[in-house]
Amino acid sequence: MASSSPAMLLLTLSILFVASVIIAVDAFSISSYHAVRNQWRQRCCAATATTSCSSSRRSTVEGPPLSTKPDYSSIHGPLGQIVDNILMSAFRTKLSERLDRSDNIIRIKDSSLATHDFAGIIELTTTMNSQYTNRTQIQEMSRDVLVSLFPPFILDRYPSWFAKPFPEFSAKMCAWATVVGGTWLMGECTVNDIPEIVDDNGGGGGGGDGKSQGVLVKRCRFLEESQCASICVNSCKIPTQNFFRHNMGLALTMTPDYETGECQFAFGKLPTEEEERLAKDTPCLMRCPSGGSMRSWHSNDRVSDENGTGSLQWLDDLRELERLIANKKEAKVQSACLLMED
Ligand SMILES: *[C@@H]1O[C@H](CO)[C@@H](O)[C@H](O)[C@H]1NC(C)=O
Ligand SMILES: *[C@@H]1O[C@H](CO)[C@@H](O)[C@H](O)[C@H]1NC(C)=O
């Protein structure tokens, strides 16, 4: 009994940290989005946007109606507004530190907005996504922010002490911690069951009985505020999954639904290659500030003209997209912001 208490305490702490990291990552993605937005708009106009937009219109997702957009600022996690503000400020601080590091190719200055202002996180995330053309770097920086939110003694021990010996318990704890620590970032969310995980024991994710191993985000604040599926994938989904897998030793699959703004977390489930390919093959949101025309820009590392004069890379991307769409007529989510193969 006595020996299990410190372990429980450590686990609880870890979970809280994980949750705040998740939240931070989400916030990170959203904030990058707005800054990027203006640049995208400019690039969009400069590049041959019309062709790109109209050709891939069927790949555009409308997203949930603005009229039903929740007042996110009034939605708080179980620990209340004060704790949420502390988590948001911590996230923002770590995010701005990471973006302004002296060894960065591009240094991004902190926002002038208050640290507990959600728009500040969106601003930074959007700026990051607009200034960095290499998605791998965006994913790595976002994951660094998550890592920096957790004390090293937790990250050093969590995989071997908890995630490996108790994968199912770890999955349930992380789901709970995600809700506790992530509501400020994602809006309303609840722990739910992932019945299909039971069949996934061969998937290498640790499995479990699926009960309380999921988190259902009703309408993700970070996605909604950033209005960009690419930011969602590169600044939130991929870095968060990688963080849990490589730093916490826990499999996680995040499945965003761009039509509704929902996002389903499944702890203990490794994404299949097909799922990851589809995820990277993101659609553009109808309200995307660039009208979706920036998809070739923000989905392709090779396009990096600082002056926004555009390049013909988008044309190649479009052809590749059409090829992809033709190849998977049945796919539910038709992709527009394609080719995020790294
Ligand atoms: C993108 O960044 C990653 C990691 O820094 C690097 O390995 C890769 O070569 C870069 N890709 C391009 C196209 O520059
Ligand atoms: C961008 O503009 C600067 C100055 O206006 C110029 O020196 C540079 O060559 C341009 N870069 C590209 C890729 O066109």
Identify which of 45, 228, 219, 44 has the alpha carbon closest to the alpha carbon of residue 125. Answer: 228
Each residue's pLDDT, cut to its tens digit, for the chain (342 residues) gives 445 566 667 777 777 776 666 666 555 555 554 444 444 443 332 222 222 333 333 367 888 998 999 999 999 999 999 999 999 999 999 999 999 999 999 999 999 999 999 999 999 999 998 888 888 999 999 999 999 999 999 999 999 999 999 999 999 999 999 999 999 999 999 999 998 877 555 566 777 889 999 999 999 999 999 988 889 999 999 999 999 999 999 999 999 999 999 999 999 999 888 888 877 777 777 666 554 544 544 444 433 444 444 444 445 555 555 555 555 443 333 233 333 333
Please classify residue 202 by burial: count the beta carbons closer than 10 Å to its beta carbon, then call 0-12 exposed, 13-18 middle and 19+ buried: exposed
**Residue pointed to by tokens 């931070």:** 24
Distance 316 CA to ligand 1 centre (A): 20
Please classify residue 77 by burial: count the beta carbons closer than 10 Å to its beta carbon, then call 0-12 exposed, 13-18 middle and 19+ buried: buried
Q: What is the pLDDT, as a whole number, of residue 287?
A: 64
Ligand 1 atom with the shortest distance to the CA of 135:
1
List phi, psi (to 5°) of 61. -105, 135
Q: What is the pLDDT, as a whole number, of residue 148?
A: 97
The structure tokens listed for 315 are 């044309």
Cβ(310)–Cβ(267) under 8 Å?
no
Ligand 2 pocket: which of 306, 309, 311, 312 to mutate (most atoms within 8 A of CB): 306
Q: What is the pLDDT, as a whole number, of residue 292?
A: 52
What residue owns the CA closest to ligand 2's atom 4?
A: 307
- Angle CA 192–31–170, to nearest 5: 30
From CA 305, how far away is CA 302, in angstroms rounded? 9
Q: What is the pLDDT, as a whole number, of residue 28?
A: 52
Q: What is the pLDDT, as a whole number, of residue 208?
A: 82
Which helix (H) or strand (E) element contains residue 254?
strand 252-257
What residue owns the CA closest to ligand 1's atom 13?
A: 301
Q: What is the pLDDT, as a whole number, of residue 68?
A: 94
From CA 317, how far away is CA 42, in angstroms rounded? 19
Type of residue numbered 210: G
Q: What is the pLDDT, as a whole number, of residue 276?
A: 84
What is the number of the ligand closest to the CA of 310?
Answer: 2
